[in-house]
Amino acid sequence: MTSGDFKTSYKADMAIFQTIWIKLWMAVLVVFMIFFPFWAGPYLTYVVNLAAIATIGALGLNILTGFTGQISLGHGAFIAIGAYSTAILTADAGFPFWLALPVAALITATSGLIVGIPSLRLKGLYLVMSTLAFSFIVQYVIIKWESLTRGSTGMGVPSPRFFGHAIDNDRAFYFLIMPIVVMAMLFARNLIRTKVGRAWVAIRDRDISAEVMGVNLSRYKVTSFFISSFYAGLAGGLYAYYITDISPEHFPITLSIDYLAMIIIGGMGSILGSVFGAMFVTMLPEGIRIAADIFGTSYPVLVDRFFEVKVMAFGLAIILFLIFEPTGIYGRWVKTKIYYKSWPFTY
Amino acid sequence: MFSDQLHFLAQLVVSGITVGSVYSLIALGFVLIYKATDVLNLAIGELMMLGAYFCFTLITTYKIPYIPAFLITLVFSAILGILLERVVLRPMIGEPILAIVMITIGLGTVFRSIIGMIWGPLNYVFPGPFSEEPLMLGTIAVSHVHLWAMIMAITVMIVFLAFFKFTTMGIGMRATADDSDVAFLMGISVKKVVAVSWLIATVVSSIAGIFLANINLLNLNLYFIGLKALPAAVMGGLDSIAGAMIGGVLIGVLENLAGGYLDHLFGGGVKEVAAFIILLLIMMIRPYGLFGTKEIERV
């Protein structure tokens, strides 16, 4: 009689969903997710869609920053490149969405290579600076290259069509986005279990040691940039389809900070953490909006200065998480699980 | 014709040097904190803005004359600097780079929202004591504000160079920057050194903020100029004080030249990104900046 979670074969040890309980909960989750948009109203579906798109972007940044340890303040720029590539391919070149989306993601991934290769010599804060500089330059190009991007007026993106049906409402988008999110998560989860993933973690933990052990630094860093920006391109493309009208204002410099906040709040180097973080950061402003609706009469500052309150809550969330829970929501989740598992014994 | 072009060039260079000296001042704030604590303080733009708004309120609402208001602002930012170090930054000692960078970004975000709440999104004209008449150096016009900003920047830098060279505290700070463990063993209070670096950095950035508000308008976009001083600091090498000064002036001149000569080719706004393009180019060639020390790492 075994008590506890023991594995008797390599196959069981390598499975993604390891215990019967995890499989059961996964099944429950899938059923819940299928019925969710019918039960929730359009507003809730809208928020969840945005969070799902952000999850893809956060997964990408987590691969680069959380697993490979390359800090990037340029993720927002990749999202913008993905969104604009999708928009241009769909609106101007007439690509169908199932072709435009992957092609746009590939374009973004290639731009990731363009940033990644020169950045091989840069480390730590100097990499932060070069990626920040890159995002300023991308923003400038988007505003100034008017013949391609329509400049600051922005451009419209036609809704994707699937077997003759236009995907143009929140519920239809939900069923377009969710499978992509699930695939993105599974791909990332599997990737970090492979040789590539282990090489990334080795680079993150100590790049010199990794190199001595035979990890080809340039190759794996560039791969990380490539895959990370591929995810960013997917997220950007979906975002462009979803909001149907993109302009440079949708991709401010602070977008990169939003994504960094997601992986910090969610949990660095964790797939589930990316989901938690994306949900938290996307839903925080909506939560404050609800609070403003409820308490607006007694605390008018919530309504009058809604934007500032939102920004402040975001900043405070970053600071408080970094000081009090550096492992993020994922760390808290693991601690809670362990607490219940070992209850009533504390150790 | 030739003299016209030369005149245009000289004008661009001179105004570049004056604006660049303010960048040097901000870059000094980055470098000081980085040297003493290995923290890249991305909240410096917001600290600048806070100083400028504080001084502005003292002058307009409380009718305090310019110079006393200026001095009160410096005291206020000194207290703020110590407080920040004690409350927010000290718990972060030993955390990874990303956490420290993000906490300063978070701080900046909070400050920006506080400033927005108190002063709102309006443009203010800073009531400076400088006359509007430009000063003529030969045929080149320099405004009084720019000239004073440059004098102030040079003065501050000379004071700090002397401080680092001749005072016990300054030498202690250099020792800490070099190796904080050894400095600690030699009896230097590293905590005090860190607190003093934050104090100096916030004071310096307040000075820069007030002068920038005098040069430009006072509004919520002022922090962006703090970000533009970042290339200056990185270009000179994050751990080199002389590099910060040279980098600031260099960025000021180069972005002015880029704005003057390339704007009509790219449809304007080149000045805003020139600093970042220069930064990228320099980092391709020298990944540790022009005067930065290359770290030798051992496993």
Element (H, E) at B173: helix B168-178
- Measure the CA–CA gap between A83 and A216, rounded to whole angstroms: 32
pLDDT band (50, 70, 90) for residue B180: confident
Q: Is A249 exposed, middle or buried (0-12, 13-18, 19+ CB in 10 A)?
A: exposed
Contact residues, chain A, for B254 at CB < 8 Å: none
Does A319 sit within 8 Å of B113, measured CB to CB? Answer: no
- Residue B276 has its nearest CB partner, among A136, A308, A311, at A136
CB A141 within 8 A of CB A133: no
pLDDT at A2: 58
What are the structural domain ranges in chain B?
Answer: 13-226
Average pLDDT, chain A: 88
B92 chain-A contacts, CB cut-off 8 A: 322-323
Band the pLDDT of A41: cuts 50, 70, 90.
Answer: confident
pLDDT band at A341; cut points 50, 70, 90: confident
In this predicted structure, the answer to whether residue B298 has a pLDDT above a threshold of 70 is no
| Token pair listed for B187 | 């009896």
Pick the closest to residue B44 from B243, B250, B232 (CA basis).
Answer: B232
Q: Which pLDDT tens digit goes with each residue over A228-245?
A: 999 999 999 999 999 988
**Touching check for A40 and chain B: CB below 8 Å?**
no
Confidence of residue A4 (pLDDT cuts 50, 70, 90): low
Residue A346 clears pLDDT 80, i.e. is over it: no
Q: What whole-number distance in Å separates Cα of residue B242 and Cα of residue B32?
A: 11
- Looking at residue A36, its pLDDT comes to 87
Task: Say if residue A275's pLDDT is above 90.
Answer: yes
A261 vs B: CB within 8 A: yes
Q: Judge whether B187 and B95 are in contact, CB under 8 Å.
A: no
User: A322 to chain B: nearest residue by CA?
Assistant: B99
Residue B254 reports pLDDT greater than 60 = yes
The alpha carbon of residue B243 is apart from the nearest alpha carbon of chain A, in Å, by: 15
- List the single best residue of B40, B44, B251, B276 to mutate versus A (max A Cβ within 10 A): B276
Beta strand pairing status for A245-246 and A155-156? Answer: antiparallel
Interface of B with A in 40-69 (CB under 8 A): 40
- The C-alpha of B27 sits at a distance from chain A's nearest C-alpha, in angstroms, of 14
Q: Which residue has the tokens 């704030």?
A: B29
How many whole angstroms separate alpha carbon B118 and alpha carbon A94? 49
Please count the other Cβ atoms lying within 10 Å of the Cβ belonging to residue B264: 9
Distance from CA of B276 to the nearest CA of A (A): 5
Burial class (CB in 10 A: 0-12, 13-18, 19+), A103: middle
Tell whether A120 is within 8 A of chain B (Cβ): no
Cβ contact, residue pair A318, B116, below 8 Å: no
How close, in Å, is residue A27 to chain B by CA atoms? 36
Query: Between A15 and B48, whose confidence is greater?
Result: B48
Task: List the single range of A38-47, A317-326, B283-292 with lowest mean pLDDT.
Answer: B283-292
Is 60 exceeded by the pLDDT of residue B1?
Answer: no
Strands A245-246 and A165-166: unpaired
Q: Report pLDDT digits (tens) over A43-79.
A: 889 999 999 999 999 999 999 999 998 999 999 999 9
CB contact under 8 A, B230 and A326: no
CB contact under 8 A, B117 and A308: yes
Instruction: Select the more confidently predicted residue: B231 or A228.
Output: A228
| Average pLDDT value for residue range B86-97 | 83
Please give, rounded to a whole number of angstroms, the shortest distance from the CA of B76 to a CA of chain A.
22
pLDDT at residue B3, rounded to an integer: 76
Please state the three-class secondary structure of A41-57 as a single string.
Answer: CHHHHHHHHHHHHHHHH
**How many CA atoms, within 13 angstroms, populate the side-chain half-sphere of residue A341?**
11
Best A62, A119, A125 residue to mutate vs chain B (most B CBs within 10 Å): A125
Nearest to A319 among B88, B97, B234 (CB): B88
Residues of B within 8 A of A143 (CB-CB) are 269
Distance from CA of B175 to the nearest CA of A (A): 22
pLDDT at residue B286, as a whole number: 81
Tokens of A221: 């860093």
Cα–Cα nearest to A271, from A23, A33, A56, A81: A56
Please give the mean pLDDT across all residues of chain B. Answer: 84
Looking at the complex, report in whole angstroms how far the Cα of residue B139 sits from the nearest Cα belonging to chain A.
34
Q: How many CB pairs under 8 A join A and B?
A: 128
- Report percent pLDDT > 70 for chain A: 98
Q: How many CB atoms lie within 10 A of CB A124?
A: 18
Report CB contact under 8 Å: B231, A128.
no
- Note the pLDDT of residue A301: 72
Task: Please report the pLDDT score of residue B88 as a whole number.
Answer: 87
Average pLDDT over residues A83-95: 90
Instruction: Render pLDDT for B149-168 as a digit per residue (tens, 0 to 9).
Output: 888 888 888 888 888 889 98
Alpha helix segments (H runs only) across A192-327 = 195-205, 207-212, 217-243, 254-266, 271-295, 301-304, 306-324
Q: Reply yes or no on whether the pLDDT at A1 is more than 60.
A: no
Q: B-chain residues within 8 Å CB-CB of A315?
A: 106-110, 112-113
Binary contact (A322, B273; C-beta < 8 A)? no
Q: CB distance from A311 to chain B under 8 Å?
A: yes
CB contact under 8 A, B98 and A71: yes
* Residue B123, pLDDT score: 83
Model confidence at B2, pLDDT cuts 50, 70, 90, reads low
Decide if pLDDT at B294 tops 90.
no
| pLDDT over threshold 80, residue B128 | no
Q: How many CB atoms lie within 10 A of CB B269?
A: 13
Chain B interface includes A305 (CB < 8 A):
yes
The whole-number average pLDDT for the span A181-207 is 92
How far off is chain A from B142, nearest CA to CA, in Å? 29
CA–CA dist A329, A336 (Å, integer): 10
The more confident residue out of A297 and A48 is A48
Q: Which residue has the higher pLDDT, A74 or B11?
A: A74
Q: Does A307 touch chain B (CB under 8 A)?
A: yes
